Chains A and B, each alone.
Chain A
């Protein structure tokens, strides 16, 4: 609990309407979308501007109060779950679009802007902000930036970090810095912008961001291809890319996932195939037409049972929206949903899919798989029950093995959801102990008191040992 004195100090900064420490308010910010047990923070603080953020951070740094920044709390790795002594910093008062610059093709936003609102605003002007995580209707841009969120359009257009041109950040000592800018080129020192991207809230608080926009593609076409087995679907993914076609979207759903998604979304997805690919291409009409035809040929050659092309944009949107619901829809199957986002080089997708099934059989757990196959980023998901200790443990062991497989295939333990708390013990598999030490050095240099989202990604207070 915070002392009365400290509470007064917070209130003096943000006003009493923006400081909450009742049990209910604390409980409402005690979790994220991961299955981890909630922890009530000490207080919830809602700053109104960058200057207030800076003052809050200074106060916290002085009194060694941890800060957990929070967007919409859709983190899947536990990175947004607070600790008892922490304050949760929320951005409900910092949710404005600062500027849409049509000359430089940028949009400047505060961290609390909802991702899909950015899409709506820029698309009305014929512009395009490609990153579209499945959580885009609820996630905030601040959360997207520090998680470097990916999305369905990642294959062709890249991830959030590729669109972050500049940031305003409050450092752990309370200093406000501006990194990057509306610049096509900028080599003035270290690239602090990209250091903040994917930092999971451990290096500072993002208070403003300049995002890159591109012209909106003229047309798009969406298709689905159904396959009689997982292998041919996975192989098709590699074949399409090997044929030098980069679709916007190349998503994979297995039968179990299809079934729950159709149960929920009722968009007429077939459930009598073993795997489905959702494929989208955009650009000038003639090129889209050519690519879609070519992709259809590749699918057929790879044993596709059926291919359907969406009749219009509404139908296409319905399919994409249904796909975005996959994770939550899988939560229908069991009380707890454990999911991972191991990522492998695209050429290894078929091997990864095979490995997932072998591991599922070995540990006797159900694993449903869907994901951004074109990015090599799959989401094997295990419906389980955290209250059933034995089964939950088997699921965890299965995932531990999957991480190893992914890294062996040249992949990573997390492609987009972050390390948070849940993947800490596997981080060394990917970056090595020396790699973790290097990251810690950066962390301690910027945040010597370890107040920014402490205990996330790694624990600075513990030394890494090579075993």
Chain B
């Protein structure tokens, strides 16, 4: 960090950081035992929410000079918001974190390769759905063409960080570009219509996880929802907001608000905790923009996770859900839990399935270490957190882990790979019984159950 950047960051902290929020932290430490990075660090205050807030405050007050270590400390936060959800004082940590990251990123003159990578990811891929579609299409070709086989077996992947390699292995088999494009914009309810909902597609969800998205839609229809899938939707922009690209985030948020604005729907349904939570914070994103703030508020008030609407519509009581006998456990998506406050519903759904023995894992509510791009940028910490998590998972003896966000899903698969379980399972030829992780919010699981129900009723 050069002197110019230091001065600018300092000035911008003073101007832009919400000093009431910084002051609001009374440093009670309630959040400490809930913070995964604090725990992994063995109790270092620089890895704690209280410490991070104190440093932000000191920089904003001009008492502390920001430096490379400051940047690292801010970036090492998972953004899981376990701290915010337990803070009795109601400190808006996410807002502080995003503002801090935005200031740092927008001020830093990153080296050329870092700049390029950021540009490709934030402006090229996630900001333009078409590019994302093409990228996913290419991934499909990569997976299908045998290129993957070559990549995996020539050792070329060794050149990449281990977490990335692991992630590459666990990516789902993606759909083709064509399949992504062919979908109606309106779907009727099956049976009696109980609600009218809009569906937020999500960029990764509608490409890499298109199967899940399609099944979510089926499930909603079965539950009695008429669905509108408006065009013009963009990525939720969580990845931009969390990584210090706030202006881009606002651009995309506007597109989403507009897409659903004139639509007469009761709810806007999401099926990925990370996206849903970010959509829910659009009002904070526009809090200083009177023109957009009210529109954002209206949008936010309609956001609901699929598991919640299924429970509200008593889907699990009206249909008999059944699966082959198995033990299941659930891994909370931090953002679904801490921001959308949805954690009972997924559990309730799972427990209602005949044949499923639900076992709660210890600390199911703590972050798995995926945290968006975190698992790639901070591989070491991420893997330490994951290993601790896998221990708890294995203790449950579950053969199926259920989670509610694509990032968590990939991360848990990495966990299974790391534990060497995947191979084991393949060898035993019971791959699909032992290892699959389902998204509860887009459950092939529940859809399969549904199908079974239809078969047996």
Name A's B-contacting residues (CB within 8 A): 22-25, 27-33, 35, 38, 40, 72-74, 92-93, 95, 112, 114, 135, 137-139, 263-265, 325, 327-329, 331-332, 335-337, 385-387
- Kindly provide the distance from the CB of B256 to the nearest chain A CB, expressed in whole angstroms: 30
Q: Which of B83-91, B394-402, B431-439 contacts A (4 or more CB under 8 A)?
A: B83-91
A23-B69, A327-B28 as given contacts; A31 in contact with B89, CB under 8 Å = no
Question: 8 interchain pairs (CB within 8 A)?
Answer: A30-B54, A33-B26, A33-B29, A35-B26, A73-B29, A92-B42, A114-B33, A265-B88
For A93, the closest partner residue in chain B by CB is: B42
Q: Which of B44-52, B317-325, B327-335 contacts A (4 or more CB under 8 A)?
A: B44-52
**Contact residues in B for A139 (Cβ distance below 8 Å):** 29
> Which one of B32, B44, B55 contacts A138 once the chains associate, using CB atoms below 8 Å?
B32
Taken together as a complex, chains A and B put the C-alpha atoms of A118 and B33 apart, in Å, by 15
Count chain B CB atoms within 10 A of each CB in A92, A137, A328 and give the residue with the most. Answer: A328
A328-B28, A329-B88 as given contacts; A31 in contact with B54, CB under 8 Å = yes
**Contact residues in B for A30 (Cβ distance below 8 Å):** 54, 58
Q: Which of B59-67, B144-152, B351-359, B422-430 contacts A (4 or more CB under 8 A)?
A: B59-67
**Contact residues in B for A28 (Cβ distance below 8 Å):** 44-46, 48, 51, 54-55
A24-B55, A29-B45 as given contacts; A72 in contact with B32, CB under 8 Å = yes
How would you classify the secondary structure of chain A's contact residues: helix, strand, loop or mixed? Answer: loop
> Which one of A74, A137, A325 contacts B33 once the chains associate, using CB atoms below 8 Å?
A137
A27-B58, A28-B55, A95-B43 as given contacts; A336 in contact with B23, CB under 8 Å = yes
B43 touches A38 (CB 8 A): no
Taken together as a complex, chains A and B put the C-alpha atoms of A336 and B22 apart, in Å, by 11
Q: A38-B63, A40-B64, A92-B42 are in contact. List 6 more A-B contacts (CB 8 A).
A: A28-B51, A29-B45, A72-B29, A135-B28, A137-B30, A336-B23
Which chain B residues in 81-130 approach chain A with CB under 8 Å? 87-90
How would you classify the secondary structure of chain B's contact residues: helix, strand, loop or mixed? Answer: loop
Name B's A-contacting residues (CB within 8 A): 20, 23-24, 26-30, 32-33, 42-46, 48, 51, 54-55, 58, 63-65, 67, 69-70, 73, 87-90
A92-B43, A137-B33, A325-B88 as given contacts; A27 in contact with B27, CB under 8 Å = no
B51 touches A331 (CB 8 A): no
Taken together as a complex, chains A and B put the C-alpha atoms of A394 and B70 apart, in Å, by 37
Taken together as a complex, chains A and B put the C-alpha atoms of A92 and B65 apart, in Å, by 26
A92-B44, A137-B33 as given contacts; A331 in contact with B28, CB under 8 Å = yes
Taken together as a complex, chains A and B put the C-alpha atoms of A387 and B29 apart, in Å, by 22
**Contact residues in B for A387 (Cβ distance below 8 Å):** 23
For A387, the closest partner residue in chain B by CB is: B23
A24 touches B73 (CB 8 A): yes
- Kindly provide the distance from the CB of B217 to the nearest chain A CB, expressed in whole angstroms: 33
- Kindly provide the distance from the CB of B52 to the nearest chain A CB, expressed in whole angstroms: 9
B30 touches A73 (CB 8 A): no
**Contact residues in B for A325 (Cβ distance below 8 Å):** 30, 88
**Contact residues in B for A25 (Cβ distance below 8 Å):** 46
A24 touches B67 (CB 8 A): yes
Taken together as a complex, chains A and B put the C-alpha atoms of A331 and B48 apart, in Å, by 19
A264 touches B88 (CB 8 A): yes
A22-B69, A24-B67, A95-B43 as given contacts; A335 in contact with B23, CB under 8 Å = yes
A32 touches B27 (CB 8 A): yes
B88 touches A38 (CB 8 A): no
A24-B69, A28-B45 as given contacts; A332 in contact with B30, CB under 8 Å = no
- Kindly provide the distance from the CB of A334 to the nearest chain B CB, expressed in whole angstroms: 8
A24 touches B46 (CB 8 A): yes
Taken together as a complex, chains A and B put the C-alpha atoms of A325 and B90 apart, in Å, by 12
A337 touches B58 (CB 8 A): no
A27 touches B33 (CB 8 A): no
Taken together as a complex, chains A and B put the C-alpha atoms of A73 and B46 apart, in Å, by 13
**Contact residues in B for A95 (Cβ distance below 8 Å):** 43
> Which one of A27, A92, A137, A331 contacts B26 once the chains associate, using CB atoms below 8 Å?
A331
**Contact residues in A for B45 (Cβ distance below 8 Å):** 28-29, 73
> Which one of B20, B67, B69 contacts A335 once the chains associate, using CB atoms below 8 Å?
B20
> Which one of B32, B55, B89 contacts A328 once the chains associate, using CB atoms below 8 Å?
B89
**Contact residues in A for B51 (Cβ distance below 8 Å):** 28
- Kindly provide the distance from the CB of A407 to the nearest chain B CB, expressed in whole angstroms: 27
